Amino acid sequence: MPDPAATRRYLRKMLRGTLGVAIGAATAFAEFFYVLFGGIALAIPALRPPVFAGARALSEVERRRIEKYLGAENATDYTGRRAMTYLVPRCVIGLFSTGIFLLLGYGVVIGTYVAYQKAFGEWPGEGSLSDQIATVGLGVLLLFLSAQGLIGIATLERKLARRFFGPSKKEQLRRRVSELATSRAEVVEAVNGERRRIERDLHDGVQQRLVALGMLLGRARRTGDPDHASELLRQAHEESQRALEDLREVSWRVYPIALDSDGLHPALEALAERSGVPVNLRVDLPERPPAAIETVVYFVASEAVTNTIKHAAATRIDIEAERDGDRVRVRITDDGTGGARESGGGLSGLARRVAAADGEFTVDSPLGGPTVVTAVLPCE
């Protein structure tokens, strides 16, 4: 069954891309005339600087349009000559997209006309069944070709911009250094967060129980009443069991043994069995991912389940882990009250941990639910 949130994101992306292509179709006319007359002006050496400057201004408009609507970010360190060269194929693609929009508009007009005829009990042509089938089939084919044409134009726009705008090797190196610096900071912050959480769990949980256990044993040793001593020893035994459970819980949160010895699937099964909320688990990983990726996937699932149990009032949790090409995707869905924020304490720690592995982390949690936590990690 399609994921409603994913469907909404896909539709928004498609609408934004279509709008971007439409704007590109409109700007293509200005670029065509600029290339035509600017190209002639380049024959005069004195006019070359202003022509290249104008070409760069037009190219900046296209670069920003592609970044905003088509989701392709490109560098800004290109020359005016390169911008002028870019505008030549770019205006051709823009004019071609104009033709697609005209074809689409023609199809809408024909469809409206057919609907009008149908509403008044008439069909175009002789009104035979074959004519009706041909008309509907032609409309569907036209719509399909127009959609494919728009997708193809958007792809061409991105490739062309990447070809002419860069990024240059200098820009690539600068971005990589920036990414590594960010990843390093994220790793340090994630490790510090884990350390603080483990210390808190040990101090507030295990340590307090051991103190209570010692007090019970001391009272049992000092009392002269055998029955009271027996009761205190029973309480001490129960307290030792609870301390052992807390210690086992902390050790699982540090690093589960099953993850190291058996892999991600058994570790997630153990997580599902220990959960206080019913968990539906689906794992589709033909091969074991690298250990570092398995660890991140496990902790994303573990922390998301813990947050759901504590805060979401959910009655069901779904965990899906699957291979998607050269990536591993894990999605945790619950039917709780929603309202989770990625900037929240536990989820922000997960975001940092995923970012440190060059992955993508998203949280979709409208008020009233459901909550969907997704992490996509490279797996090469």
Residue appearing with tokens 């024909």: 110
Last-in-domain residue among 129, 147, 167 = 167
β-bridge pairing 327-334 and 317-324:
antiparallel
Indicate if 328 and 275 belong to the same structural domain.
yes
pLDDT at res. 8: 77
Last-in-domain residue among 122, 144, 167 = 167
Indicate if 298 and 214 belong to the same structural domain.
no
pLDDT at res. 314: 87
Indicate if 271 and 213 belong to the same structural domain.
no
With the C-alpha atoms ordered 53, 59, 63, 65, is the resulting torsion angle positive or negative?
positive
- Work out the widest C-alpha separation in the chain, in whole angstroms: 112
Q: Tell me which residue of 98, 101, 103 sits closest to 30, measured CA to CA.
A: 98
Range of the domain at 362: 258-378
Indicate if 140 and 109 belong to the same structural domain.
yes
Indicate if 106 and 134 belong to the same structural domain.
yes
Mutual angle of helices 48-69 and 4-41, in 10-degree steps: 170
pLDDT at res. 285: 86
pLDDT at res. 135: 73
Indicate if 245 and 267 belong to the same structural domain.
no
Gap between the Cα atoms of 36 and 29, Å rounded: 11
Q: Supply the CATH number for residue 302's domain.
A: 3.30.565.10
Tell me how many helices (H) and strands (E) the chain has. 11, 5
Structural domains of the chain, count: 3
In the sheet that holds 279-284, the strands lie side by side as 279-284, 317-324, 327-334, 371-378, 360-364
Count of other CB atoms within 10 angstroms of residue 162 = 15
| DSSP classification of residue 365 | -
3-state class (DSSP) for residue 281: strand
pLDDT in tens, the chain (380 residues): 556 666 777 888 888 888 999 999 999 999 999 999 999 999 898 888 999 999 999 999 999 999 999 888 887 878 888 899 999 999 999 999 999 998 888 878 877 877 777 777 665 555 566 777 777 777 778 888 888 888 899 999 999 988 888 666 777 788 778 877 777 777 777 777 777 877 887 888 888 888 888 998 998 888 888 888 899 899 989 988 888 888 877 776 667 777 777 888 888 888 888 888 899 999 988 888 888 888 889 888 988 888 888 888 889 999 999 988 888 999 999 988 888 877 766 687 788 778 778 788 888 888 887 899 999 998 86
Contact 169, 338 (CB under 8 A): no
Indicate if 131 and 186 belong to the same structural domain.
no
Indicate if 150 and 220 belong to the same structural domain.
no
Q: Six-digit token pair at 17? A: 């891309």
Last-in-domain residue among 188, 219, 251 = 251
pLDDT at res. 319: 93
Contact 175, 167 (CB under 8 A): yes
> Is the entire prediction scored with pTM above 0.75?
no
Indicate if 21 and 139 belong to the same structural domain.
yes
3-state class (DSSP) for residue 342: coil
Q: Tell me which residue of 337, 328, 326, 334 sits closest to 367, measured CA to CA.
A: 337
Indicate if 270 and 370 belong to the same structural domain.
yes
Indicate if 90 and 128 belong to the same structural domain.
yes
Indicate if 153 and 198 belong to the same structural domain.
no
Gap between the Cα atoms of 366 and 309, Å rounded: 17
